[in-house]
């Protein structure tokens, strides 16, 4: 038997992870469909999608909170708060006061609290397993995350589509998942941060004071200043390298992809209903998994050619999704449209980790993540408003066109076309770090 299977703390943490993943998937499907149903316009779903993603832009502020508070307390508290927030929607429905405005208030609050959950789980994992088992444990966590997303996106769509359940009933189911997670996390017994003994979680001072000569944890204000400085340093490094022109089309595609998420409920309603909405989200998750798996076989392909082929394939897939009316073809197009993105995210991360000086990797990564991350929620906001005029199908066409524009951009740049395979690059590679055009 694998040692992890005998580790009760790891198994309890994993079970909590699975339950929270399942609840998040059901919540996302039900909340956005409810906004679509109550609001009757992609303007509202665009706002909802924007509000769901907006708290993620402040993820960097979570670190001090996770470091300073007891993980078990943090996990139990966040689940309890989210359960209360989600429950306000069924209560408002029971009282006859449910409106799209109520849902739009609850959505960002729940999303904000949820920003703490996964970092807290990640913080607990190294204390739950031995160092030599950490890589395997992380792999299990990530695989479970994607698998649960695929499954429960579809489950959420089914629940929303059932007359006896609906979106409000699905949110009640979601509240139950939070209660289950509270029970699982409340029973966690973690070694303390310093000694790694068998004491229960919280055995070390968590008041931010220095221990044994160590530096006190950063305050949120210090963390914010440090993040801004790191962002500037990262941008300074990016200038003159191939990374900057690479992320330009990625930012454009991220913007239009945000618009796609905003119009997805309306598109699903047009083609098949709430059940299709959940299945399409599952298709996107499945495509990302396939891309991640394929990435290991594509690191020997010249990266410039890979970007060209990938953007063309993605553009064709989105156009196919726009014009298709047969459900299996639509789902296949959605899955195919995300394969390149899933694989490229792995290869691009590898490229950064290989080429960028080790002391700069964190700052460069955070700068690029910020640039791309800002585009997605604002894409949702704009896409929802535009789709209210042109319809959801036009947004999928625009997503296809955006990828073709990315192809043209890469073809125009000789330095991007000639980028070598990821497997062939090395630290400080001039082909990446010095770009003439």
Q: How does pLDDT run across 312-371, given as a tens digit for each residue? A: 999 999 999 999 999 999 999 999 999 998 888 888 888 887 888 877 877 787 788 788
Co-location of 167 and 292 in the same domain: no
Q: Average pLDDT in the 282-299 region?
A: 86
pLDDT: is 268 or 145 the higher one? 268
pLDDT number for residue 398: 93
In this structure, the answer to whether residues 43 and 137 fall within a common structural domain is: yes
Query: Among residues 173, 117, 172, which one has the least CA distance to residue 145?
Result: 117
pLDDT confidence bin for 67, thresholds 50/70/90: low
pTM of the model: 0.83
Q: Is residue 248 predicted with pLDDT exceeding 70?
A: yes
| Residues 17 and 150 occupy one common structural domain | yes
Half-sphere exposure of 75 (CA within 13 A, CB side): 31
For residues 19-28, average pLDDT: 89
In a domain, 40, yes or no: yes
User: If you ran DSSP here, which 8-state letter would residue 360 be given?
Assistant: G
Distance of alpha carbon 368 from alpha carbon 251, whole angstroms: 9
Find the mean pLDDT for residues 38-52.
Answer: 94
Helices (H) and strands (E) in the chain, counts: 16, 0
Asked if residue 210 has pLDDT above 70, the reply is: no
191 in a structural domain? yes
Q: What pLDDT shows up at residue 436?
A: 46
Residue 54 pLDDT more than 70? yes
**20 and 81 share one domain:** yes
pLDDT-derived band at 384, boundaries 50, 70, 90: very high
pLDDT above 90 for 411: yes
Evaluate whether residue 218 is within a structural domain.
no
Question: Which residue, among 170, 130, 149, has the nearest Cα to 32 in the 3D structure?
Answer: 170
168 and 64 housed in the same domain: yes
Q: At 430, is the pLDDT very low, low, confident or very high (cuts 50, 70, 90)?
A: low
Q: What is the pLDDT of residue 213?
A: 45
Structure token pair of residue 95: 């009282």
Same domain, 151 and 264: no
| pLDDT at position 221 over 80 | no
Both 339 and 238 in a single domain? yes
Judge whether residue 311 has pLDDT over 70: yes
pLDDT value, residue 64: 60
Measured CA to CA, the distance from residue 23 to residue 185 in angstroms comes to 15
Q: Which one of 108-112, 295-299, 328-332 scores highest in mean pLDDT?
A: 328-332
Q: What angle do CA 268, 272, 273 make, to 5 degrees?
A: 65
What gap in Å lies between CA 319 and CA 300, rounded to an integer? 29
Give me the pLDDT at residue 5, please. 78
Question: 3-state DSSP call for residue 421?
Answer: strand
Same domain, yes or no, for 190 and 255? no
Residue that finishes a domain, picked among 186, 202, 218: 202
Sequence-distant (≥ 6) Cβ neighbours of residue 254 within 8 angstroms:
372, 373, 375, 376, 379
Query: 157: Cβ–Cβ under 8 A, 6 or more apart, which residues?
Result: 29, 33, 274, 275, 276, 277, 278, 279, 281, 282
**Residue 386, both tokens:** 């535009």
Residues 143 and 277 reside in one and the same domain: no
Flag whether pLDDT at 2 surpasses 60: yes
Could you give the CA distance from residue 128 to residue 69 in angstroms, rounded to a whole number? Answer: 17
CATH of residue 366: 1.20.1250.20
Residue where a domain terminates, one of 187, 202, 217: 202
Task: Give the pLDDT mean for 23-37.
Answer: 91
Are 39 and 169 in contact by the 8 Å Cβ rule? The answer is no
Contact yes or no for 371/253 (Cβ under 8 A): no
Task: Kindly state whether residue 9 falls inside one of the protein's structural domains.
Answer: yes
- Lowest-confidence segment of 3-12, 70-79, 96-105, 141-150 by average pLDDT: 141-150
Q: Last residue of some domain: 160, 183, 202?
A: 202
pLDDT at 135 over 80: no
281 occurs within a structural domain: yes
Whether 310 and 235 share a structural domain: yes
Domain annotation covers residue 22? yes
- Work out the mean pLDDT of the chain and round it to a whole number: 83
The pLDDT, as a whole number, for residue 202 is 44
pLDDT at 69 over 90: no
Q: Is residue 223 part of a domain?
A: no
Examine the domain organization and report whether 261 and 198 are in the same domain. Answer: no
Domain interval for residue 153: 3-202
- pLDDT band, residue 211 (cuts 50/70/90): very low
Q: How many domains does the chain have?
A: 2
Are 235 and 195 within one domain? no
Residue 270 lies in a domain: yes
In this model, does residue 117 exceed pLDDT 70? yes
């Amino acid at each position: 038997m694998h040692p992890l299977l005998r580790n009760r703390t790891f198994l309890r943490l994993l079970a909590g992870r699975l339950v929270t993943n399942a609840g998040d998937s059901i919540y996302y499907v039900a909340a956005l469909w409810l906004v679509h149903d109550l609001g009757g316009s992609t303007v509202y779903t665009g706002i909802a999608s924007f509000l769901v993603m907006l708290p993620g832009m402040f993820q960097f502020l979570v670190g001090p909170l996770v470091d300073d508070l007891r993980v078990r307390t943090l996990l139990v508290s966040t689940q309890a708060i989210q359960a209360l927030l989600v429950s306000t929607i069924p209560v408002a429905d029971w009282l006859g006061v449910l409106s799209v405005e109520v849902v739009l208030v609850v959505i960002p609050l729940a999303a904000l609290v949820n920003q703490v959950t996964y970092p807290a789980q990640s913080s607990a994992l190294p204390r739950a397993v031995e160092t030599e088992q950490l890589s395997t444990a992380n792999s299990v966590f990530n695989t479970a995350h994607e698998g649960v997303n695929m499954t429960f996106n579809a489950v959420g769509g089914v629940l929303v589509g059932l007359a006896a359940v609906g979106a409000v009933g699905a949110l009640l189911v979601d509240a139950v998942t939070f209660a289950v997670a509270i029970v699982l996390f409340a029973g966690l017994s973690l070694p303390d941060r310093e000694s790694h003994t068998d004491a229960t979680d919280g055995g070390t001072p968590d008041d931010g004071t220095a221990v044994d000569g160590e530096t006190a944890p950063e305050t949120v204000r210090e963390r914010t200043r440090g993040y801004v400085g790191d962002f500037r340093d990262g941008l300074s490094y990016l200038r003159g390298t191939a990374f900057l022109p690479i992320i330009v089309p990625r930012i454009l595609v991220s913007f239009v992809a945000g618009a796609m998420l905003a119009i997805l409920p309306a598109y699903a309603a047009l083609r098949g209903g709430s059940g299709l909405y959940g299945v399409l989200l599952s298709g996107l998750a499945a495509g990302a998994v396939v891309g991640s798996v394929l990435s290991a076989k594509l690191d020997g392909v010249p990266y410039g050619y890979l970007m060209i082929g990938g953007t063309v394939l993605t553009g064709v897939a989105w156009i196919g999704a726009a014009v298709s009316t047969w459900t299996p073809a639509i789902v296949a197009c959605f899955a195919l449209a995300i394969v390149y993105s899933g694989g490229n995210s792995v290869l691009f991360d590898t490229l950064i980790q290989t080429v960028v000086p080790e002391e700069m990797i964190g700052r460069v990564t955070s700068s690029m993540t910020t640039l791309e991350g800002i585009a997605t929620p604002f894409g949702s906001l704009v896409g929802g408003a535009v789709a209210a005029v042109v319809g959801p199908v036009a947004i999928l066409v625009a997503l296809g066109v955006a990828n073709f524009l990315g192809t043209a951009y890469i073809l125009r740049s000789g330095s991007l076309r000639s980028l070598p395979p990821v497997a062939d690059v090395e630290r400080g590679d001039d082909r990446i770090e010095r770009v003439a055009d």
